[in-house]
Amino acid sequence: MSTSQRSSQLPGEPLFAELPKPSQTPVTVVSPMMALPPAVTPKQRLVHYSADDWEEFIYEWVMSLKEAGYVDVVGMGGSNDRGADIAAFLTPAKTDGRWHCYQCKHYDKPLVPSSAYPEILKIHSAVAEQQYRVLPERYVFVAPKLGGSLVQLLAKPSALKAGFLEWATKSSARLAQEYPGGLLERALHRARASTFSCFEAGNLDIILEQHASTPHHVRRFGTPLPDRPARETTPAQHAPEEARYVQQLLHVYGEKWGCSTVSPEEAAAHPKAGRNLQNQREAFYRAEQLRLFARDSVPDGTFESLQEAVFSGVVEVEEDDFPTGWARLKAVLAAARDMQLGTNVLLQVVDPDDRKGICHQLANVDRLTWVQGAEQ
């Protein structure tokens, strides 16, 4: 303490002021919220795929390329794939006609020219042996990581061709053993006559963007479903494919209000039955819209699994004793509205009318019945 500080202290004054006593109220210390780890992107997830998973992913993508005009897509991978993991055919002649080839490579390190050259030799040797009548119009290397040197070569066919032929010349002794009986010479003869313009690199960003439009994307990457289309107006005219569930509803209205059990028009004109019939038809068409949305957005069987979950949850209600079909209909629809439906991915977009509509889909195939013993 300085002299001036000492001189300002009054006699008998404590050196330090007495601290206030701590409050007797307990203090809860709250730890700062821990930051969530960043979500793993689809591109990051693909890096950890096995070779088989990668090839399956690429197959799904190629199958989605409707604008390419493919008449068929075939997985040809394996130990003797002859340079083509996935073949996409532009004509019924398949590899005897115009076709595209997708070569899948999944390594820990980026794909480099020395890994691509053996595949280029394979495809030329397969044509030399008439395994394929012609080279594919497009030969796409698809890998989660492509080395910069290979990307640059694929962007300049003349340089790719020169690099390939230089590699083949340096490796000729070994390659002659792998391609005996003059096959190496025939393959290289075809390679020298080729422009190498068919070889290209797949762009992973574009592949993922296009794959996102397939029903497989949500299953693979756990991404949110796309938005459902806006609700469509229910057709005024009854379609043949809704005849059975409507007939079941007519039995309900006939029992409750004495409406005709054969004339939807009479039921529609009834002040109460007509309003209910319209509501049920709107729900049915909403569920039909969900079915079509599922067809294009999630894997096969996802919507059917949801239907089965609804059926399992309401069938025991439907089997109970009720005084009227109206009471049974109301009880089943309420059960469908309130029930837990597990973890089906479609639950992201399901609304109450979908649940009601699924019940009518089930009634449409007589898996649910509202008026027990009614004439079918």
Give residue-wise pLDDT tens across range 88-101: 999 999 999 999 99
Average pLDDT over residues 114-118: 96
Q: Does domain 43-220 have CATH number 3.40.91?
A: yes
Contacts of residue 323, Cβ cutoff 8 Å, sequence gap at least 6: none
> 154 burial class (0-12, 13-18, 19+ CB within 10 angstroms)?
buried
For position 67, what pLDDT does the model report? Answer: 86
Residue 311 clears pLDDT 70, i.e. is over it = yes
Alpha helix stretches (DSSP H) within the chain: 3-7, 42-47, 51-63, 113-128, 148-154, 157-170, 172-178, 183-193, 204-211, 217-221, 243-257, 264-269, 273-297, 302-318, 325-338, 352-364
**Rounded to an integer, what distance in angstroms lies between the CA atom of residue 162 and that of residue 320?**
79
Distances (CA, A) of 365 to 239, 274, 361: 15, 23, 7
What confidence category does residue 375 fall into, taking pLDDT thresholds of 50, 70 and 90?
A: low
Instruction: List 88's β-bridge partners, or say none.
Output: 73, 100
For position 78, what pLDDT does the model report? Answer: 67
| Domain residue spans of the chain | 43-220, 240-364
List, for residues 321-347, the tens digit of each pLDDT value.
999 999 999 999 999 999 999 899 999
Backbone angles phi, psi at 213, to 5 degrees: -85, -5
DSSP type of residue 10: P
Average pLDDT over residues 275-289: 98
List, for residues 190-246, the tens digit of each pLDDT value.
999 999 999 999 999 999 999 998 989 988 998 889 899 999 999 999 999 999 999
Q: Calculate the CA 31 to chain-centre distance.
A: 39
